[in-house]
Structure 1
Amino acid sequence: MKSILIKTIDLENHLILQLYDESIKMIGDRWLVTLVARMKVPVDEALIQESETFSANKDKIIKALGKEVVFEYKNNRIFVDESEKESIFQELYDNFIDNTLPYLSRPNFPERFLLKKIKEEMKRQLQKRQP
């Protein structure tokens, strides 16, 4: 699969969002049209902005998650006619920009995303311990 970087956006919360076209040709003139958004969320930066709970457990969090966590969003349409590929991709892009970008740009996004990842890691660790 070939990833084509189509746009890099510097967000108000100091994160950098990258948008990719990862569309692939399927059969004949049919496409799987895919928009992917990726963004690295530095654990340290998110911790600086947040609560005392994160600060107290900073080393444990970094040990569990690493120095950064990658946010990824994918949206696709399957079995798209080649003649509609560009317009469908543009629709996915426009919807993302209109609906998701404002959420990702919020000042508290890094903290909230990190909290979600911490909870996922804690759940994974608990499941790993159970026989």
Structure 2
Amino acid sequence: MDTLLLKKIDLESGLELEIYDVSRKLAGDRWYVGFIARIEIPITFIADYADSSEIDMEKMKDVLGETVRFEQKRDRHYIDEKNKDAMLQGLIDDFLATTLQYFSGKDFAKKYALQVYGKRLEKTSWYKA
């Protein structure tokens, strides 16, 4: 899937939100219109906000690596070619209006990383059993 970086937004938390266009032509004048929002969260960033008794940071690094990637996709199918740019901008505007404040909070990175970490631990423990 081809991606085109549309914008980077510096968040109040110190992280960066990147928005990528993943739109493509389907058939005739019809388009798949979509974007991916991505935030790379360094594990060292989480350590600054996490209670040391709450998380074993070394184990977390072993399980997740140096970063955790948050990614969310929004899309629409079979959009008329004349409307594709407006549709994409509308999807992005709606996404930012409803999520930007949440992503900017200091708890977002910690909560998301802990959620991914817990799921990975659960998955690996299931495979070992």
TM-score w.r.t. structure 2 length? 0.95
The answer for the alignment partner of 1:3 in structure 2 is 3
Residues 45/54 of structure 1: CA separation in 2 closer, same or farther (3 Å cut): farther
The answer for the alignment partner of 1:60 in structure 2 is 59
The answer for the alignment partner of 2:73 in structure 1 is 74
% identical aligned pairs: 33
Equivalenced residue count is 129
CA deviation vs aligned residue, 1:1-56 (integer Å, no higher than 9, x gap): 2211111011000001111111011111111101111111001111221112345x
Distance 1:26 1:20 in 2: 18
- 8 Å contact 1:47–1:54 — kept in the other structure? no
Deviation at 1:58, TM superposition (A): 1.1
Across the aligned residues of Structure 1 and Structure 2, the Cα RMSD in angstroms comes to: 1.1
CA deviation vs aligned residue, 1:92-129 (integer Å, no higher than 9, x gap): 01111100111111111110011111111111112212
Amino acid of the residue matched to residue 69 of structure 1?
A: V
The answer for the alignment partner of 1:119 in structure 2 is 118
The answer for the alignment partner of 1:19 in structure 2 is 19
CA deviation vs aligned residue, 1:50-76 (integer Å, no higher than 9, x gap): 112345x11111000001011101000
In structure 2, runs of 5+ residues without a counterpart are none
Instruction: Please state whether the residue corresponding to 1:38 is helix, strand or coil.
Output: strand
The answer for the alignment partner of 2:50 in structure 1 is 50
TM-score w.r.t. structure 1 length? 0.93
Deviating beyond 2 angstroms after TM superposition, the runs of 4 or more aligned structure 1 residues are: 52-55
